[in-house]
Amino acid sequence: MTRSVAGLLVAGFGFGVPNAALSQETDRTALTNARIVTVEFGVIESGVVLIEDGRIAAVGANVDVPTGTTTIDVAGHTVYPGMVDSGTRLGLSEVGSDPRTQDFRENGNLTPHVKALTAVNPNSVLIPVTRVSGVLTALAEPTGGLFPGTAAFINLHGYTPEQMYVEGSSTMVMQFPVTGRRGSFDQRSDDDIEKASKEAMKTLNDMWDRAHLMARLESVYEADPEMERTTEYVPEVSALVPVVNGDMALMIVVNRAADIEKAIDWVQEREVALPIFSGCAEGWRVASKIAAAGIPCIVGPVQSLPTRASDRFDRAYANAGLLHKAGVKVALRTGESENVRNLPFHAGFAAAYGLGKEEALRAVTLNPAEIFGVAEHIGSISVGKLANLFVADGDPFETKTSIKYVFIEGHNIPMESRHTRLYDEFLNRSR
Amino acid sequence: MNMEQPMANRSVRAATVRVAAILVMAAMGSPAASVAQDGNLVVRNATVITVTGDVLESADVLVRNGKIAAVGADVIAPAGVREIDASGKYVMPGILDAHSHIALTTVNEGSNPVTAEVTMEDSVDPFQVSIYRALAGGVTTAHLMHGSANVIGGQNETIKLRYGVRTPDELRFEGAPRTIKFALGENPTRVHGGSGNKNPSTRMGVELVLRNAFEEGKRYMEAWDTYNASVASQGNRRRGNRGMSATAMPPEYNLRLETIADILRGDILVHAHSYRADEILMLMEVLGDYGVNKITFQHANEAFKVAPELAEFGASASIFADWWAYKFEVYYSTAYNAAILTRNDVSTSINSDSGELIRHLYHEAAKSQKYGGLTDAEALALITINPAKQLGIDDRVGSIEVGKDGDLAIFSEHPLSVYAINEMTIVDGNLLFDRANDPDDMRLMVNPDEEVPETMIRYWETDMHQCMQNTEWLFGISADQLSY
């Protein structure tokens, strides 16, 4: 294909080009002579990762590679589990300023029955740009009202949202009522702010009580299938039933110190079975309280400003490390869409400012898998898990490190994106 | 004390006021309070990254009276000069940000598509803690720009981050050339054309507004030139004792046209907010027609598409490392922009346009190594000597050379490493950021009666929309919904 035709494809058919043309010679691939950072079981200085049917079939220094296996010698390089971003808009937003391409915010304060997964666009141009950086799984997260919907982990390859979905990762999102002023643009009076906060808590508690009632009714119906069902159709309440039953995690978006303390009390009073805090910008202020409550925190974006003008300049960088030191289980989020690819840099900053490299790696691999209850599928290089992994020529967070291979559910993903294609076309453009 | 609780007890509160007042005094001026900040110091035993020259191992940098006096091994310093032991550390020139809106009280004069007469000089606020936060990231010079609402916006202000001074003039980069903001594409067409009865509403209209302004400026300049020549010749005649009375009338003074005339005279450098390749080409053509040859394209996400044309014109680009897709005109972008431009000999810098990003420009520059494999020297030039050239101050800053300003940043590791932490920032030979010794709260002005403001920044409420600040009212939306 000539350069100019390639250019036409890039420029003209961005939405239409499938995001990966996959190699599928065999369903068995071995990465050999690899340094393997398993995250869960230490480092293997030289070994083999055997991938079969999309999952990791064997890992170790001595692995028998069956004949007929596609073998890739990665000597000198390191294999890492795919990085996981625990809070993004990936797949839900294409062009930031264009509302027609944004699907992360549904109207309404109480929409727990909407699902981010529904709106994930598998052909988003942003997805290949992200995965070639080693970020292979992202939480597609709705935002908006008190209950904006369910979030879900998506693996960054697939032709349908279902193919991308990490089984069992659906998580209810709650935006904990924000007390106090939201920022300098918030011109409400103190009284109005107080009133709004009280109203929001009442709405939250009413919803929770109704969900409990619904759960009890449903358990009664379940016990006696003959009984006539008389409950109304209240989808927003029904959506919360798995949460109050403890079958689904509740991810509570909360940032200010005072709100975090209130959220801890609320979680304990309401006996929330699987609470997760997300955002946690001022988590460092109340770290020991969060640790005592045993609630894991999704922290980030790391590269952000301190929340208060009076705060030390590096508080956002240091937050994850301070929480970890206090005993809080930490995972990281970018909060991004087009630049989810920067997750390793957020992790690098967190590492440098106190979290340490090893914990930072856990915070973007195994920790989120465990926090969201999907460690059987993702988060480490371990037999039986999805073959989500990447091969790098160095430290995965170091800026200039080059990613050589990416595997998502065993697929050897082309290391291409709009960004690489434009580079290839224009580096030595004809005049 | 729990900072969240309002103080109930009056006496506690009064005591707090006194303590706060003392803290304010302590924090003011110099963070490293115990040593005189007289523009003299010597940094010892560092890896010195000069940018324009070699990387020197175990070298010293001596600054005297604010200027770099010596660079090399075992530099002899005058007795009593402050010594900073930088063993195992990396010293690089103070970082420059060629596109910033920190330390400004307002950004856009959005009332007209052409507002060349306004200047950011009038909006500088030396008390903003954003200055200190940028300093903490090793930045020593920032180009404070007018916003992108207008085709020809206001004039910009280049400052040194001399955090602690009390007046805007003390921040000013004295002697820096005048610069002016232009803006092409979506922002001016939305702000002005969006009303339905004003130009520009398209990229065609942007050219129209530009050409009208340039032509009016040219005619104004010529009218004044004619008048001045006439006055001069009358004066000569008078001196020649011919006794002729003055007949020439001065043209009406107009600051807007006067400013445009200064652009045409080459006295003001143009920095044009732009994204698409076509509008970049358009502006070069217009400038060429009016003999203006100094231009830096700001943002310029599609500059890589016209790199040969930029190189031929001698234009520069000041870009984001990897921002894209936040609006449609940056959808067809690539993070390899810096590499393509550099390889095509276009002078390129990486800027922040953000009070957050400005704090890690060294990391943004490093992305050019991931995306296109620039060398260490090329990557660091993106945030030092190259922006210095674009701002016309490369004789003063942008590299570690004898005679240049004593602006330095000292990093724990190589500044292009993601693990690098800036430990000290020196401006004019004064240590203004010292990570180990500065207090947490570095505000200069604190109202003791004020509760600690619980400003909460979430990722969709960041400051990253500053180019369009003060234009929210035009769209009936809140600040966080605007994009660059």
Q: Is the pLDDT of residue B368 over 50?
A: yes
* Per-residue pLDDT reduced to its tens digit, B202-223: 999 999 999 999 999 999 999 9
Is residue B458 within 8 angstroms of chain A, CB to CB? yes
Output phi, psi for A195, to 5 deg.
-65, -45
**Stronger pLDDT, B446 or A20, i.e. the higher one:** B446
Asked which of A304-308, B27-31, B88-92, B443-447 is least confident by mean pLDDT, the reply is: B27-31
- Whether residue A398 and residue B372 make contact (CB cut-off 8 A), yes or no, is no
**What is the model's pLDDT at position A1?**
33
**What is the model's pLDDT at position B450?**
65
* Per-residue pLDDT reduced to its tens digit, A302-335: 999 998 888 999 999 999 999 999 999 999 999 9
**What is the model's pLDDT at position B239?**
58
Q: What is the DSSP string of B24-58?
A: HHHHSS-SSTTS--SS-EEEEEEEEE-SSS-EEEE
CA distance, residue A87 to nearest chain B CA (Å)? 11
**What is the model's pLDDT at position B13?**
35
pLDDT bin (cut points 50, 70, 90) of residue A27 is: confident
ipTM over 0.90: yes
Interface of A with B in 282-311 (CB under 8 A): 285, 300-301, 303-305, 307-311
Q: Is the pLDDT of residue A185 over 80?
A: no
Each residue of A407-421: b (16+ CB within 10 Å) or e? bbbbbbbbebbbbbb
CA distance, residue A65 to nearest chain B CA (Å)? 33
**What contacts B9, CB < 8 A, 6 or more positions away?**
none
* Per-residue pLDDT reduced to its tens digit, B428-470: 999 999 999 999 999 998 877 766 555 555 433 344 445 666 5
Q: Is the pLDDT of residue B481 over 60?
A: no
Could you tell me which chain B residue has the CA closest to the CA of A180?
B454
- Whether residue B418 and residue A399 make contact (CB cut-off 8 A), yes or no, is yes
**What is the model's pLDDT at position B33?**
45
The stretch A339-358 carries a mean pLDDT of: 98
Amino acid letter, B140: T
The stretch B33-59 carries a mean pLDDT of: 91
Coil, strand, or helix at residue B243? coil
Percent share of chain B, pLDDT over 70? 82
Q: Is the pLDDT of residue B81 over 50?
A: yes
d(CA A79, CA A33): 10
Is residue B32 within 8 angstroms of chain A, CB to CB? no
Interface of B with A in 320-379 (CB under 8 A): 322-328, 331-336, 339-340, 343, 355-357, 359-360, 363, 366-367, 369-372
**What is the model's pLDDT at position B459?**
38
Coil, strand, or helix at residue A45? strand
Q: Which of A17-26, A193-202, B319-328 has the highest mean pLDDT?
A: B319-328
**What is the model's pLDDT at position B263?**
98
pLDDT bin (cut points 50, 70, 90) of residue B2 is: very low
Is residue B4 within 8 angstroms of chain A, CB to CB? yes
The stretch B105-129 carries a mean pLDDT of: 95
Is residue B125 within 8 angstroms of chain A, CB to CB? no
The stretch B84-105 carries a mean pLDDT of: 97
**What is the model's pLDDT at position A183?**
64
Cα-to-chain-centroid distance, residue B433: 19
Coil, strand, or helix at residue A213? helix
Which H helix or E strand runs over B285? helix B277-289
Walk me through the domains of chain A, giving residue ranges and CATH numbers.
22-81+383-413 (2.30.40.10), 83-378 (3.20.20.140)
Mean of all residue pLDDT scores within chain B: 88
Is residue B277 within 8 angstroms of chain A, CB to CB? no
The stretch B230-253 carries a mean pLDDT of: 72
Assess contact for A150 and A141: CB atoms under 8 A. no
Assess contact for A423 and B339: CB atoms under 8 A. yes
Of B30, B60, B6, the residue nearest B400 (C-alpha): B60
Which residue spans of chain B are classified as CATH 3.20.20.140?
95-235+255-392
Tokens at A173, concatenated: 């999102």
d(CA B37, CA B44): 18
Percent share of chain A, pLDDT over 90? 84
Mean of all residue pLDDT scores within chain A: 92
Task: Please name the CATH architecture into which domain B95-235+255-392 falls.
Answer: Alpha-Beta Barrel (3.20)
Which residue spans of chain B are classified as CATH 2.30.40.10?
1-94+398-445
Assess contact for B98 and B126: CB atoms under 8 A. no
* Per-residue pLDDT reduced to its tens digit, A211-261: 999 999 999 988 988 888 777 889 999 999 999 999 999 999 999 999 999
Q: Which of A135, A311, A426, A431 to mutate to test the interface with B (most CBs of B within 10 A)?
A: A426
Of B78, B77, B73, B76, the residue nearest B48 (C-alpha): B73
Give the alpha-carbon dihedral of A403, A407, A408, A409, to 10 degrees: -160
Strands (E), B200-345: 268-274, 295-299, 316-319
* Per-residue pLDDT reduced to its tens digit, B401-431: 999 999 999 999 999 999 999 999 999 999 9
* Per-residue pLDDT reduced to its tens digit, B171-206: 999 999 999 999 999 999 999 998 888 999 999 999
**What is the model's pLDDT at position B247?**
67
CA distance, residue A192 to nearest chain B CA (Å)? 16
CA distance, residue B124 to nearest chain A CA (Å)? 18
Task: Please name the CATH architecture into which domain B1-94+398-445 falls.
Answer: Roll (2.30)
* Per-residue pLDDT reduced to its tens digit, B300-325: 999 999 999 999 999 999 999 999 99
